Structure 1
């Protein structure tokens, strides 16, 4: 199975770049599963239903969120109706939506996609490690299993917590990929047990910015240490950032992992087909 995960999509620049590129990426990379984190899609804060619909129509099989999940309140009724839109699974019981879903793919295959949020320097949610363990308990990967692959978007601030998550589920998941910091890390690897891992997929947005936001206002907050006007996304050309993984059909574990970067300011990287 060929999987593409795209990191935090920021503002109109990121939205337009991803929706324009996804159809061709699906064809050229022969993708079976595409997951996009879109928690910053709406002016940098949250996701509107019409934006989710556009991403799904462009070729995303699942959309994940994070700490800005509820910034657009109209997403609450929508997330109850759309099983392919996931919020962190370690929100308290009774929170709208779901944190894990089995996604139907072409050829009759299925994949389990999960979204969890870290607790270091983040909101004090329920334990994400136990949450992931519970989410995968009913599934088995690979040939003869319930799903062909299992993918976790771990939305977290601390690289230590992300690495701990990767090693904790090494050999049990196809991919553990971090989001939230908006900067692509250079540590993409296959862990000893066969799980593909990357500390942060980066963002899909304008990198002439402060993690996707207009750099003047964002920088001023560090100079003056007082809130200024509401931050706005940078609107220059976006770089699409993410990670490509190819799995073994027999086991669901990773055979190959490679970064993907295209457009904008960062050096390009395109997985070989």
Structure 2
């Protein structure tokens, strides 16, 4: 089984890059499952019903989220009915709409896709390690493979989690920090790991925000309203993961990185 994962889609340029390149990426790699993180797609914060549908129409099978899940009020109107949208599972139990994982049929196999959020330098929500154990106990006998989007700020928390679950899940792919890391590997137990898949959005800006505004914040040390540009060169980042169909363990992981400096090659 092959999985394509695309990192945080950011604003209008991210929308354009996803629409333009995800079909090409799928044609090149021919994945059986495609997962896209969409928590920044609505001008850098949150998602709308129309943009959720746009991600699916571009070729995604599952949409994961993160700390900006509820930044757009509109999400409360559709999150419970959005069968392919998952938000971090460790938001407070029983009071948070939506779901934190989904089981997807891929040919004759079932893949569990889990979304978790770290707590270091982010909101102090429920423990992602404990929440994983709860979900794992519930779904392990139903799944042939398990994929985790771990949305977190620090590399240490992401790496610690990957070692904690090594051998029990197929992949732990980090999101949130928007810069693709060069540490893709397969851990001894067969779990693929990448600290951050990178972002999909503006290329000549800073983490998806207009660079002048970010620089102004560093110079003035005063609050500045960040902006997500609507025009300019873009990038799309993520990874491709190959799983052993018998064991659910990863046999190969490689990066996807398309930008003006790294043109797409079909």
TM-score (normalizing by structure 1): 0.93
Residue of structure 1 in register with 2:239 after alignment: 243
Q: Decide whether aligned partners of structure 1 residues 233 and 115 sit closer, same or farther in structure 2, where only a CA change above 3 A counts.
A: farther
Q: 21-30 or 158-167: which moved more?
A: 21-30
For residue 255 of structure 1, give the secondary structure of its aligned residue in structure 2: strand
Asked if the contact 1:259–1:269 (Cα under 8 Å) also holds between the matched residues in 2, the reply is no
Point out where structure 2 has 5 or more consecutive residues left out of the alignment: none
In the alignment, is residue 79 of structure 1 matched against residue 79 of structure 2? yes
Shift of 1:228: 2.1
Query: Which residue pairs with 2:205 in the alignment?
Result: 209
Give yes or no for the alignment of 1:101 onto 2:102: yes
Per-residue CA deviation, residues 39-98 of structure 1 (Å, 9 max, x unaligned), is 110111111110110111221010011111111110112111012111100000120101
What is the rounded CA distance, in whole Å, between the counterparts of 2:207 and 2:45 in structure 1? 13
Aligned to 1:153: 149
Contact map agreement 2:214 2:226 (CA 8 A) in 1: no
Q: Tell me, in whole angstroms, the C-alpha distance in 1 between the residues paired with 2:125 and 2:229.
A: 27
Contact 2:7 2:238 in 1 (8 A): yes
User: What's the Cα RMSD here?
Assistant: 1.6
Q: TM-score, normalization: structure 2?
A: 0.95
Matches within 5 A, 1:48-59: 48-59=48-59
Worse-superposed segment, 205-214 or 233-242: 233-242
- Once residues 136 and 238 of structure 1 are traced to their aligned partners in structure 2, the CA distance between those partners, rounded to angstroms, is 37
C-alpha contact (below 8 Å) 2:258/2:264 kept by paired residues? yes
| Structure 1 unpaired stretches of 5+ | none
Tell me the distance in 1 between the aligned counterparts of 2:153 and 2:88. Answer: 14
Structure 1 residues 156 and 149, CA gap change in structure 2 (3 angstroms): same
In structure 1, the residue matched to 2:21 is 21
The corresponding residue for 1:220 is 216
Aligned ranges for residues 23-42 of structure 1 at < 5 Å? Answer: 23-42=23-42
Deviation at 1:215, TM superposition (A): 0.2
Pairs within 5 Å for 1:104-115: 104-105=105-106, 107-115=107-115
Query: Contact 2:7 / 2:175 at 8 angstroms: preserved in 1?
Result: yes
Task: Tell me the secondary structure at the aligned position of residue 79 of structure 1.
Answer: coil
Deviation at 1:230, TM superposition (A): 4.0
Equivalent residues, number? 265
> CA separation in 2, counterparts of 1:77 and 1:103?
23
Are the equivalent residues in 1 in contact too, given 2:84–2:102 (CA < 8 A)? yes
SS of 1:252 mapped into structure 2 = coil
Assess, with a 3 A threshold, how the Cα gap between structure 1 residues 208 and 234 changes in structure 2: closer, same or farther. farther
State the shift of 1:119 in Å: 0.4
The question of whether the paired residues in 2 share the 8 Å contact of 1:118 and 1:154 is answered with yes
1:128 aligns with 2:124: no
